[in-house]
Amino acid sequence: MRTAVTETSAATARTLRRLNAGIMLEVMRSPGAVTGTDLMQATGLSRATVMAICEDLMKRGWVQELDNQRTFGGYRTGRPARRFELNVQAGYVLGIDIGAAKTTVVLADLRGGTVARASLPFRGRSISAQERVEVVNQAAMAALAHAGTVPSKVLAAGAGLAAPIDREGNVVAAQPFWGMFDVGLRAALLERHGWTVLLENDANLAALGERWHGAAVGVDDLAVLLASERFGAGLMESGRLLHGSRGSAGEMAYLDLLAGVGSPAGIAQLARQWAVEALAGTGPTLLKEQSGGSPGAVNAEMVFAAAALGDKAAGDILERLTKRIARIIASLGTLFNPELVVIGGAVSASAGVLLPGIAAQLPLFTATPPRVAVSTLGDEIVSVGAVRHALDYVERNALDLELAATPA
């Protein structure tokens, strides 16, 4: 949690109040009501300051005061403490995951609870920027319609892209694949709906999501590996995301140069590639039965399933994956020294079987091996982080945002 700015700070009164209002909203994000004393203890602010900010937040619609008639045996006893609660439906945020093949939009309330979601595919990678924006917009409108609310209730949208994003929120289109995501989404959704759209790298958002609601709750020094088709890493140091000078911290192109690895190909891609090689061999394998002998039908899930049944070819593939991933995680352990590395993405549900082998291999490659876990968020990992990113913005800027009236 951020630290409250006290009245002795040199910051201006307006900036001070904005910061402390955001911190109080962060405290109120937890379920249930809080008292003035609770807020004082959590923030270190004086009672007068806490009450003044609560009054301001109530006037603006962010907070509501609850009836708190304290009684004993039917009779009022003493002066009741005032209780406050976040008005979770004062507005909403969007968490948008924009991949190469589809987009998923999550509508969340001000505690981050999912209200609605919608997914739509892109019509191939060669579609225009305008078409890609339109698909994202349609998915967002579908989520809003499902929740029975309107665009004016959206206070901010976080959007994760498979490309580096600099500190100003711009796509770094230094290669063709990254350029595919440079579609002018921020300007387009601002023009259409007045939304503030916060672009961020998908692996960075995965790190935010894991630290908020996943396997890394409470971990400040963290790396999250998105490991499905290609490896990408979101890095946190002392609870802060690392971006680098051009947003490329955590990009894994250096794996081309890493001995025993050789490319940033991810678990799903490698498992599929090596399974196709196994199908072409003469040895018996369950993979032939599972795929009908068709190389185009094989996938990573088949490999993990066959290995669980004792298939030697599939087991050999998992051993190869284990050794490669151990080297990748060891490189992160040496370069960034995280406490924990979380393996995330669509393959995370299966990747747990790799953990014992990875843990055994790590000390061979680094003197500072991190703990390793698999994500508990599955394919929601980026959208969860996008929601967190949007909520952070809303809390920081609450006194500058005007809440829309609830639609009839």
What are the CB-based long-range contacts (under 8 Å, 24+) for 286-292?
Answer: 286/311, 286/313, 286/314, 287/311, 287/313, 287/314
For residue 388, what are the domain limits? 92-210+382-400
Q: Are 131 and 190 in a shared domain?
A: yes
Q: Is 397 exposed, middle or buried (0-12, 13-18, 19+ CB in 10 A)?
A: middle
Q: Are 286 and 335 in a shared domain?
A: yes
Task: Count how many domains the chain has.
Answer: 3
Residue type, 184: G
Q: Are 246 and 304 in a shared domain?
A: yes
Tell me the per-residue pLDDT of 64-121, one tens digit each, with 9 for 90 and over: 999 865 544 544 555 678 999 999 989 999 999 999 899 999 999 999 999 999 999 9
Q: Using DSSP, state whether 339 is helix, strand or coil.
A: coil
Q: Are 273 and 173 in a shared domain?
A: no
pLDDT at position 3 over 70 = no
Percent of the chain residues topping a pLDDT of 70 = 93
Tell me the per-residue pLDDT of 196-254, one tens digit each, with 9 for 90 and over: 999 999 999 999 999 999 999 999 999 999 999 999 999 999 999 999 999 999 999 99
Mean of per-residue pLDDT scores for the chain:
92
138 C-beta neighbours (distance < 10 Å), count: 14
Instruction: State residue 178's pLDDT score.
Output: 85
For residue 408, being part of any structural domain is answered with no
Q: Which of 72-76, 319-323, 387-391 has the lowest mean pLDDT?
A: 72-76
**Phi and psi based region of residue 331 (left: phi greater than 0; alpha: psi -120 to 50; beta: remaining):** alpha
Q: Are 96 and 77 in a shared domain?
A: no
Contact status, residue 189 vs residue 197, Cβ threshold 8 Å: yes
Q: Are 196 and 335 in a shared domain?
A: no
Give the CATH number, domain containing residue 116. Answer: 3.30.420.40
Q: Which residues, including other chains, have CB under 8 Å from residue 374's CB and lie 6 or more apart?
A: 215, 342, 343, 344, 348, 349, 351, 352, 355
For residue 364, being part of any structural domain is answered with yes
Q: Are 227 and 349 in a shared domain?
A: yes
Q: Where does the pLDDT of residue 13 fall: very low under 50, low under 70, confident under 90, or very high at 90 and above?
A: confident
Per the structure block, which two tokens stand in for 278?
A: 């196994």
Distance between start and end Cα atoms, the chain: 36
For residue 82, being part of any structural domain is answered with yes
Q: Are 155 and 255 in a shared domain?
A: no
Q: Are 70 and 32 in a shared domain?
A: yes
Tell me the per-residue pLDDT of 21-74, one tens digit each, with 9 for 90 and over: 999 999 998 888 999 999 999 999 999 999 999 999 999 999 999 986 554 454
For residue 406, being part of any structural domain is answered with no
Is the pTM higher than 0.85? The answer reads yes
Percent of the chain residues topping a pLDDT of 90 = 80
Q: Are 244 and 372 in a shared domain?
A: yes
Instruction: State residue 218's pLDDT score.
Output: 94
Tell me the per-residue pLDDT of 247-279, one tens digit each, with 9 for 90 and over: 999 999 999 999 999 999 999 999 999 999 999
Mean pLDDT of 126-153: 96
Q: Are 235 and 353 in a shared domain?
A: yes
- Alpha-helical (H) ranges within 292-396 are 300-308, 312-335, 348-351, 355-361, 381-396
How many alpha carbons lie under 13 Å from residue 65 in its C-beta half-sphere? 16
Give the CATH number, domain containing residue 29. Answer: 1.10.10.10
Q: Are 286 and 234 in a shared domain?
A: yes
